[in-house]
Amino acid sequence: MTKMQQPSFIYLYDGGKTKSLNVKEIAISLRKRLRKAKVEIREDFIPKENFLETTARELASIKISDIKKKDTFLEPLPVEINYEKRRLMDSGHKAAGILYDGFRMLSIFAKLIPKIESNFNYCHIIFTNQLFGTWDENDLRYHARVAVFGFPSIISTTGVVEAPAKPREFYLKRQMGMNFLALKEEFKGRFIDYDDSRLTEVMKGYSLQALLFHMTGDPFCKDKNCRLYNAHWQEEVIHAQLKSEYELCNFHEKILTKTIIR
């Protein structure tokens, strides 16, 4: 197996804006795995004042207005730019149901990383409550995502609720006219919800995916029991991140515990 280089610095940006996400606990879990790396928690990935106006305009310009049309972005209105500016300045601001283009968001954030930290010795993982999506060429529409991996990687606390599909019966009963809140109660535990007490544990797995992408370019595993499994259903997320008998498959366990650390 080819020896791979682990980053010397891993920065976690605490922008999930939910009490159920404990970034300190995620940092501890990464430190246990990557003993030579310095894992540091930073505040929300808010740009410096000099970049505030530009970043607000850029974020307002990547809102997806029609999930069935690719790259059809509209010139943002002043009110939309002001909304983004207020959101960036207010660390407690909640997301407002806007779907952004995930790869374009990643590009905007990449420009804000200090030059000295813009190399593979640094791994940046941003937690955000913003919802983003990527275009799928198979069915020609945007899909909400939990994470977009790159430099940096972005992981969404809203995406983990909205992106993976809930059980099929949930949608069938919804189509039959059942009350949404009653359905949530009936299927409670079978999907990750807002302010879910299991969120931190789930996000540990997505942090590992971001780390593996940083090191290998491939964040996923085909093993449904491995935390690197690319889950599309909520029950797959819960199984891989919370119920599996092991954290990682043998192959990825070796990558993290042997190849990297020595």
Q: Summarize pLDDT for 90-130 with one digit per residue, the tens.
A: 766 766 789 999 999 999 999 999 999 999 999 999 999 99
pLDDT digits (tens, 9 = 90+) for 34-70: 888 999 999 878 766 778 889 999 999 999 989 999 9
How far apart, in whole angstroms, are the C-alpha atoms of residue 113 and residue 130? 19
Contact 6, 38 (CB under 8 A): no
Indicate yes or no: pTM above 0.85: yes
CA 61 – CA 149 distance, rounded (Å): 21
The residues, any chain, with a CB within 8 Å of residue 175's CB and separated by 6 or more, are: none
d(CA 99, CA 69): 13
| pLDDT of 17 strictly over 90 | no
pLDDT tens digits, one per residue of 174-213 = 999 999 999 999 999 999 999 999 999 999 999 999 999 9
| pLDDT over 60 at 139, yes or no | yes
Side-chain-side CA neighbours of 123 within 13 Å: the count stands at: 27
Q: In angstroms, rounded to a whole number, what is the distance separating the alpha carbons of residues 67 and 141?
A: 5
